[in-house]
């Protein structure tokens, strides 16, 4: 049960970064950390002690594999995660070019 | 963007084709060994990224290449849809994504029906998408007005 | 086995904490790499080689893109002063922590302990080697049983790329 709790702590650290940080890049980093922790949590649920990687081979019994379903789901989620991070970074570039800063307080005060 | 020194360029000339070949291997053996379309596509894209980073001057020429990459990417999605639709039309079960080609023996390279084809198409799509994202974020960010 | 995973997770937590509190952005991004590469090793420990291959390359590409973005920005972060809004943020964080902890406590009862998972839903998938003909079970699920998910993923990736190009490309292609 300890790995699950550590995973929850990692998720909460990402949330802490999003809520308290003022720098756009650090907010993006916090979001990515949350995504990583969720990926790791779902993979840990499917782990079986002593199981092998889900590659079919004749000499293993079929019940000895770790659960392949979460792995297949997370495989697509990782690639989508890169795309969304790139989208957020593109928005950060535009904001930096317009206001000359990554600090969201200054961006907020310049909006008038 | 400035390129790097002659040593980095020469090493890149040797390494980048090997990385690209490794990506192709991962894609083609995706139904037998760990890997598949996603992993292989990202590895192939990293070969292009290495070339762009080492030879910085070719960036100015790359401003025209982005439409070709978009064509590749949207064409790959269309190919995926066509393969999925073929299962609806040709196969006897009339199901989307129906695997109607002969399965073969598990463990051989030419097996698993349509899965190698889908691996190749998804690999192309992921490679084109990540290269486009990289070119956009590194090259076009200078275009944004101050 | 479990002890290695716990060590990796503690390393990842330390890396993420340092990343959020670093003085300049470059060291923040570099120490964010600790989290990603720790995730790679965790995937290998959890018997997921497909994910480890994808994650290691994705992490490198993410780091290169992030460093390219912050490369020519020169900004020193201001010292964060204790203010009323800071207090509100911490209060909100505390509320979220309590909510997530309660939710976790509720689901952890139905969760089997670490390493003693029983495959209920995936049993048909693991037996389905001869249906898809693919020796790699993960590829068989991604393209065979769950092809719709992959189609949706390709569409989302395409949309994100179009979004990046739309945001960053102000001049038209004809150079107007």
**Nearest chain C residue to B72, by CA:** C158
Question: What's the per-residue H, E or C state across B118-131?
Answer: HHHHHHHHHHHHHH
- Residue B56 placed within a domain: yes
The Cα–Cα gap between C157 and B130 comes to 9
Question: What's the per-residue H, E or C state across C144-169?
Answer: HHCHHHHHHHHHHHHHHHHHHHHHHC
Q: Do A97 and B106 touch (CB under 8 A)?
A: no
The Cα–Cα gap between B104 and B95 comes to 21
Phi-psi region of C47 (alpha: psi -120 to 50; beta: other; left: phi over 0): left
When pLDDT is cut at 50, 70 and 90, the band that residue B146 belongs to is very low
Domain boundaries, chain A: 2-109
Q: How many domains does chain B have?
A: 1
pLDDT tens-digit readout, C69-79: 887 776 666 66
pLDDT surpassing 90 at residue B68: no
- A74 close to C (CB below 8 A): yes
pLDDT surpassing 60 at residue A24: yes
**Nearest chain B residue to C170, by CA:** B144
- C162 close to A (CB below 8 A): no
- Residue B1 placed within a domain: no
Residue C105 CA, chain-centre distance (Å), reads 23
pLDDT tens-digit readout, B83-105: 878 777 777 666 676 666 767 77
The answer to whether B54 and B9 have CB atoms below 8 angstroms apart is: yes
Tokens matching residue C125: 């998938």
Tokens matching residue C77: 């972060």
Average pLDDT over residues B59-87: 77
ipTM of this complex > 0.95? no
The Cα–Cα gap between C62 and C157 comes to 15
**Chains with ≥3 CB–CB distances under 8 Å to A:** B, C
Question: What's the per-residue H, E or C state across C84-107?
Answer: HHHHHHHHHHHHHHHHHHHHHHHH
CA distances from C12 to A29, A78, A109, C6, C31 (A): 13, 17, 35, 10, 9
pLDDT tens-digit readout, B4-44: 788 888 888 899 999 999 989 988 888 888 888 888 888 99
Q: Give me the pLDDT at residue C171, please.
A: 62
Q: Do A97 and B129 touch (CB under 8 A)?
A: no
Q: Give me the pLDDT at residue A56, please.
A: 73
pLDDT tens-digit readout, B108-119: 667 767 788 888
Q: Give me the pLDDT at residue A62, please.
A: 54
pLDDT tens-digit readout, A63-76: 677 788 888 888 88
pLDDT surpassing 60 at residue A110: yes
pLDDT surpassing 60 at residue C113: yes
Fold of A2-109: Helix Hairpins (1.10.287)
- A89 close to C (CB below 8 A): yes
What angle is formed at CA C66 by the lines to CA C65 and CA C72, rounded to 5 degrees? 100
When pLDDT is cut at 50, 70 and 90, the band that residue C153 belongs to is confident
The Cα–Cα gap between B7 and C21 comes to 37
- Which among C27, C89, C20 is positioned nearest to A23, based on CA atoms? C20
The Cα–Cα gap between B4 and B57 comes to 10
The Cα–Cα gap between A68 and A79 comes to 18
Chain C closest-CA separation from residue B38 CA (Å): 7
Among A28-42, A96-110, C44-58, whose mean pLDDT is lowest? Answer: A96-110
The Cα–Cα gap between A19 and A27 comes to 8
C76-82 LR contacts (CB < 8 Å, sep 24+): C76/C23, C76/C24, C77/A22, C77/A23, C77/A103, C77/C23, C77/C24, C77/C25, C78/A22, C78/A103, C80/A22
Residue A10 CA, chain-centre distance (Å), reads 10
The residue range of the domain holding B24 is: 6-142
């Amino acid at each position: 049960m300890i790995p699950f709790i550590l995973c929850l702590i990692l998720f909460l650290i990402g949330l802490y970064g999003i809520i308290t940080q003022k720098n756009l890049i650090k907010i993006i980093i916090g979001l990515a950390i949350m995504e990583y922790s969720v990926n790791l949590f779902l993979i840990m649920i499917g782990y079986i002690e002593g199981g092998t990687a889900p590659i079919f081979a004749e000499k293993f019994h079929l019940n000895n594999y770790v659960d392949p379903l979460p792995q297949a789901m997370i495989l697509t989620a990782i690639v989508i995660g890169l795309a969304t991070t790139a989208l957020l970074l593109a928005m950060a570039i535009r904001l930096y070019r317009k206001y000359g800063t990554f600090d969201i307080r200054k961006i907020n005060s310049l909006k008038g | 963007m400035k390129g790097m020194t002659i040593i980095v360029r020469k090493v890149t000339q040797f390494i980048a084709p090997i990385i690209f070949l490794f990506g192709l291997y991962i894609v083609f053996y995706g139904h037998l060994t760990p890997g598949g379309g996603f992993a292989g596509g990202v590895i192939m894209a990293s070969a292009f990224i290495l070339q762009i980073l080492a030879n910085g001057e070719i960036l100015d020429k790359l401003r025209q290449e982005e439409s070709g990459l978009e064509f590749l990417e949207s064409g790959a999605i269309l190919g995926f849809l066509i393969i999925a639709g073929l299962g609806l039309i040709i196969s006897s079960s009339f199901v989307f994504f129906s695997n109607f080609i002969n399965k073969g023996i598990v463990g051989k390279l030419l097996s698993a029906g349509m899965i190698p084809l889908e691996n190749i198409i998804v690999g192309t799509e992921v490679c084109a998408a990540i290269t486009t994202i990289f070119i956009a974020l590194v090259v076009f960010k200078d275009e944004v007005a101050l | 086995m479990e002890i290695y995973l716990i060590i990796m997770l503690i390393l990842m937590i330390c890396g993420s904490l340092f990343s959020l509190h670093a003085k300049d952005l470059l060291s923040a991004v570099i120490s964010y790499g600790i989290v990603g590469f720790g995730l790679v090793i965790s995937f290998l420990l959890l018997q997921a080689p497909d994910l480890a291959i994808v994650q290691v390359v994705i992490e490198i590409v993410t780091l290169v893109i992030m460093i390219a973005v912050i490369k020519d920005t020169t900004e020193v972060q201001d010292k964060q002063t204790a203010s009323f809004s800071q207090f509100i943020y911490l209060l909100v964080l505390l509320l979220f922590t309590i909510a997530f902890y309660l939710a976790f406590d509720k689901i952890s009862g139905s969760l089997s302990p670490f390493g003693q998972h029983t495959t209920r839903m995936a049993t048909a998938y693991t037996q389905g080697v001869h249906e898809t003909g693919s020796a790699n079970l993960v590829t068989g699920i991604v393209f065979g049983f769950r092809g719709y998910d992959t189609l949706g993923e390709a569409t989302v990736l395409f949309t994100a790329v179009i979004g990046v190009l739309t945001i960053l490309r102000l001049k038209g292609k004809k150079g107007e």
